[in-house]
Structure 1
């Protein structure tokens, strides 16, 4: 039997900061994708991750992706109370729910970190091995603008704010 993340914290054993950050990033990335055209790809990638690392839970993971999407789109979601992996307290925040689910996966199988990183990179449109500042994966953003006459152009990127072109 696998020890859960909450049980580990109760015993004073803390998840590695990198694994916790990966779980958080993966949850944000997956949930963000659920309201875009990439949602089906997110569902496929999540199912594939579970098929490789927790095959018995793959169907539940795929269903939970669809439930999170429905919740985000305002269509409601089905009742999870009959499921073994239901979250205590009726969790309704999809990002928090997926972060916890990814944490449990990483707790049970730390080798899943590489596959989870690949999932995040693919959904974020990154190429494998592409890194940015602070060891984070980088996304290439290209902005083009042209100012004529007395017009001004204001552009902002991820870590760049208020670049003024005149």
Structure 2
């Protein structure tokens, strides 16, 4: 699996779920449907309906405080987008553009600069966001 596609799909899935519960969800929905329209025109209407259903499911889950369903919806769309991009890598740039357009405060986001020095047996772990460390 292409790591760039996997990372982009992860970002898209998270952005999608975040924005489905906002007033800008129409833009996200229309942009994603457009991707499917270009790659799989036969699936585009179904994807539109599935995004609408995902939004309703997400809003219900958020109202009930159900974080598990929110994570499942995010994972589901992350996987769908990853499979679409794997089959149609020519859509990667279009998805980058869509995410830049719909992401809240993209231009205002501060740059993150990290510096670290390790010596000997030391390890350095840095993340610009969430970090999960498991058994090694």
- TM-score normalised per structure 2: 0.68
> What 5-or-longer segments of structure 2 have no aligned partner?
62-70, 111-127, 129-136
Q: Using CA pairs under 8 Å that are at least 6 residues apart, name the structure with larger relative contact order, 1 or 2.
A: 2
Change (3 A) 1:24 1:141: closer
Assess if the C-alpha contact under 8 Å between 2:2 and 2:86 holds in 1: no
Give RMSD over aligned pairs. Answer: 2.0
Please say if 1:94 is aligned against 2:73.
yes
- TM-score normalised per structure 1: 0.56
Assess if the C-alpha contact under 8 Å between 1:43 and 1:65 holds in 2: yes
Change (3 A) 1:112 1:36: same
After TM superposition, the runs of 4+ consecutive aligned structure 1 residues lying more than 2 A away are none
Change (3 A) 1:93 1:56: same
Paired with 1:97 and 1:113, the residues of 2 have a C-alpha distance of 19
Q: Which protein is richer in helix relative to its size?
A: 2
> What 5-or-longer segments of structure 1 have no aligned partner?
1-14, 76-91, 127-137, 143-158, 160-166
- Note the C-alpha offset of 1:139: 3.1
